[in-house]
Copies of this chain bind each other. A is one copy, B any other.
Amino acid sequence: MRDEILEQPGVAARLIGDRRDAIAAIAAAVRARQPDYLVISARGTSDHAAIYAQYVLGARHRLPVALSTPSLLSLYGVAPRFANALVIGISQSGASPDVVGVVAAARQQGALTIAIANDPRSPLAMTAEHVIDLGAGPERAVAATKTYTGELVAIALLSAALSPDPAADAALLLLPEALARATDAEPAVRRVAGDQASMTRCIVLGRGFHYATAREWALKLKELAYVLADPYSAADFRHGPLALVEPGFAVLAVAPSGATSADLVALLTRLKAEQGADLLVLSDRAETRGLGRWALPIPPDLPEWLVPIVSIVAGQLHAYHLTLAKGLDPETPRHIGKVTLTR
């Protein structure tokens, strides 16, 4: 798993270098169809890439994005009407029948379909009209890492191709180096993980673009370190769950500079001062990191929409080292396998 975390700069560099033309052709097909909205079908880690797409394609192209509910088709036998929709399936393995089913129904109805997968010969890739092959190489660890950031890079490349802009293209080229710098946090991560070795539950906060990172960080903590990590948008968290936080309760926060910063800083300040939360703050901004009992850096100077691609690296390393600190093996999480086939 650690090897695959460290492979991420190379995976991103290859995607950015090799997939531009293929993605430009897909973007041209999307522009030709002018979809009213998007539906994304995905599960688990790939569902967090779908959440990233919800914000990136919403903020940069004003596209409403629905996350599909595959059981409507797989259990209730009802295919939604996909009139004027673009339907994207995202899956590392490309194998889960419920995810494939949504894309198959959409294509049968004549909707434009795209698969994002790490196996161009998988059922998902064979089902969709267009395919973005992540080319991340085999992912052997049960916990997905390089395919997650690969999925995010693919979505960012699609966004850049939909509205060509030299600034976006230049920013994308910064990603491999920023991913490499994100792994520099490993010694700091190891110290934090050592301090938190007895943690059994926590909240993970993020908002907007950074909600995807909160969700994915929480999933890694659950599947590897068996910490019941509950992710929340900072807004939804105020509608009730805030009551949970008592002195010493661990709250992890993805709080980079940008549009969500003031909201997160206000909430974290309150959680610390009034409720005694033990904060772990992930930010590029030193002042925000200063709110935390613990803090981890995000490499600076990326535009906000690309930050989730690098901010998750500290989360991956944190879950990995917390698992080791608990005396568990991150390579063999109990009860789960690499490919999950849900119906």
Known: A64-B80, A98-B235, A200-B201. A208 touches B75 (CB 8 A): yes
Interface residue A269 (Cβ < 8 Å from any Cβ of B): no
**Complex alpha-carbon distance, A155 and B98, angstroms:** 26
- The A258-293 residues at the B interface (CB cut-off 8 A) are 259-260, 263, 274-275
**With an 8 A cutoff between CB atoms, is A131 at the interface?**
no
A45 CB contact (under 8 Å) in B44, B69, B240: B240
Interface string of A198-230 (1 = CB under 8 A from B): 001101000110000000000100111010101
Chain B binder among A3-11, A55-63, A115-123, A132-140? A55-63
With contact pairs A230-B228, A241-B223 given, residues A36 and B39 touching in the complex (Cβ less than 8 Å): no
CA distance A200 to B201 in the complex (A): 9
State the number of copies, please: 2
A336 at the interface (CB under 8 A from B): yes
List, in ascending order, chain B residues with CB within 8 A of A243's CB: 222-224, 226, 333-336
A-B contact pairs, 29 of them (CB 8 A): A36-B37, A36-B81, A36-B84, A39-B64, A44-B236, A59-B76, A62-B78, A64-B80, A65-B66, A65-B69, A66-B66, A66-B67, A69-B208, A70-B235, A71-B207, A71-B233, A71-B235, A72-B208, A75-B260, A76-B259, A84-B84, A143-B240, A222-B240, A222-B241, A222-B243, A228-B230, A239-B340, A240-B336, A242-B335
- Can you name 5 extra interface pairs (CB under 8 A) apart from A43-B235, A245-B335? A62-B78, A64-B68, A64-B82, A236-B342, A275-B335
